[in-house]
Copies of this chain bind each other. A is one copy, B any other.
Amino acid sequence: MAERAIVTLEETLTALVEGKKYTTLRDILVTMNASDIAALFEEMPEAKLPLLFRLLPKELAAETFVEMEPEAQELLIQGFSDNELKDVVDELYVDDAVDIVEEMPANVVKRILKQADPEMRKMINEILKYPDDSAGSIMTTEYVSRRPVMTAEEAIKRIRRTGVDKETIYTCYVTDNNRKLIGMISIRTLLLSEDDDVLEEIMESNVISVNTLEDQESVAQMFAKYNFVALPVVDQENRLVGIVTVDDAIDVMQEEATEDFEKLAGMTPSDKPYLRTGVLETWKSRIPWLLVLMLSATLTSMVITGFETSLAAYSALIAFIPMLTGTGGNSGTQASVAVIRGLSLGEVEFTDTVQVIWKEIRVAVMCGVTLAACNFVKLILVDRMLFHNQAVTIPVAAVICLTMVCTVICAKVAGCVLPLLAERIHLDPAVMASPFISTVVDVMTLVIYFQVARVILHI
């Protein structure tokens, strides 16, 4: 519904822009949400962008700016006077400012930092020091903190006076004289307390916090686990240095899930939306794995070539190669995706390896036997009786079905062991996934197929 509303609005606004009805335009824009304005602006001709942007009141302008794509942000900054840039930068939360700085070319970054006030510049530089994808890199340094001896009434008063610049006022952190984190209290508890309650007595003193260097994925997992609105970030000495808010945790969750999807499909992760990624860039992210997997398929060719003369004698076996490798690949992918998702949600760990393998073996035996039985019936009823393919004899069908059982078992075990091993040696489990497992499974399937054929058909 929201989407449909924007489309009609887009046409209305385009008409207003063309008719130069700027007052009406402004009246409409101020009623809208920053995300929606940003989406709308992205659809407008680039030349109109600075003009449209200048219609927005200061605060809404900054909020909209944050929601825009880096290309549009750069375009706007290039057109800003120093004063206009300062107005926007002043309104930004420091974590949003850092996100923007990270995307901009050096000359734009220089201009932004020049316009930021010294306090802001210091905070931006502080956050930029932390490694990519760490808790420090996604935190904000604008939070509410109080001393333990303050009363609830004083704390609320102080929040009412200074809260306007903080990214969230919903959680208030309590620190001692050395900035060490000793407690936290939600604005909810504060409001529901008596005026003269002392923070020390009403605060939650078992605070769950993360270290600045903690991986952003586990930070996001903690939000999912504990239902937080914000999570404090501390340094090695347990000094409070910032907070991560739930909206940033949600962004991290989506990013990480998208990355896992891309890795599963053998693509280098990209943080740009699909339609905004150029053809060359898409090619670059896709070609490496395609090349590696194509070249590693040399192994399957070699296995087949080694068996070529026997295959010439039993040519019926050839027709079932894609079915066997396909079923093996699918079985392995099921196991690997289940384990990879379990690992990234923290439901499975390396110490569970034996339990996982034992489970997969039992599932694999059941799946393998079911598939083999169905396939046997199909081979005899459809291929032999219906299509009169006399090459599909009972021994040939037996070879295919026995291979099926062995393949499914090997594929499921490989599918669950490879991601666990990857996790163990600190590689990314998702990278070891489907495409790579397919190649491993293809080779295994062919070797099993030809060995079983050799034994049963005496070739």
Contacts and interface: CB of A to CB of B under 8 A. Distances in A.
Contacts of A163: 188, 191-192
Contact of A297 (B253, B275, B327): B327
Interface residues of A, number: 121
A305 B257 contact: no
Given A250-B253, A370-B287, A442-B322, A298 B378 contact: yes
Contacts of A226: 33, 35
A190 B204 CA distance: 24
Contacts of A188: 163, 169-170
Interface of chain A, helix or strand or loop or mixed?
helix
Interface in A101-145: none
A232 interface: no
A254 B224 contact: yes
Nearest to A305: B319
Interface stretch (A75-83, A328-336, A451-459): A328-336
A15 interface: no
A170 B192 CA distance: 13
A291 B370 contact: yes
A21 interface: no
Nearest to A191: B160
Interface stretch (A50-58, A173-181, A337-345): A337-345
B367 A286 contact: yes
B274 A338 contact: yes
A283 interface: yes
Nearest to A342: B274
A362 interface: yes
Given A294-B371, A333-B435, A356 B261 contact: no
Contact of A262 (B267, B327, B337, B382): B337
A357 interface: no
A347 to B, nearest CB: 4
A265 B334 CA distance: 5
A265 B333 contact: yes
A44 interface: no
A304 interface: yes
A389 B298 CA distance: 13
B330 A371 contact: no
A319 B31 CA distance: 65
Nearest to A223: B250
B371 A290 contact: yes
A49 interface: no
Contacts of A337: 261-262, 264-265, 267
A100 interface: no
Interface in A39-66: none
Given A267-B337, A341-B261, A367-B283, A35 B225 contact: yes
Contacts of A331: 286, 290
A396 interface: no
Nearest to A442: B322
A393 interface: no
18 contacts: A2-B208, A31-B205, A224-B254, A265-B334, A266-B334, A267-B334, A274-B339, A282-B363, A286-B367, A287-B366, A287-B370, A287-B371, A298-B323, A298-B378, A300-B323, A302-B319, A326-B438, A330-B435
Given A264-B337, A301-B322, 9 more contacts: A31-B205, A265-B338, A274-B356, A286-B367, A290-B327, A294-B323, A297-B322, A322-B446, A329-B329
Interface of A: 1-3, 31-33, 35, 156, 159-160, 163-164, 169-170, 187-188, 191-192, 205-206, 208, 211, 214, 222-227, 229, 246-247, 249-251, 253-254, 257-258, 260-262, 264-267, 273-275, 279-280, 282-283, 286-287, 289-291, 293-295, 297-298, 300-302, 304-305, 308, 311-312, 315-316, 318-323, 325-327, 329-331, 333-334, 336-342, 345-348, 352, 355-356, 359, 362-363, 366-367, 370-371, 374-375, 378, 382-383, 389, 408, 434-435, 438-439, 442, 446
Which 7 residue pairs across A and B have the least CB separation, nearest first?
A297-B323, A265-B337, A227-B247, A274-B342, A304-B319, A300-B322, A273-B347
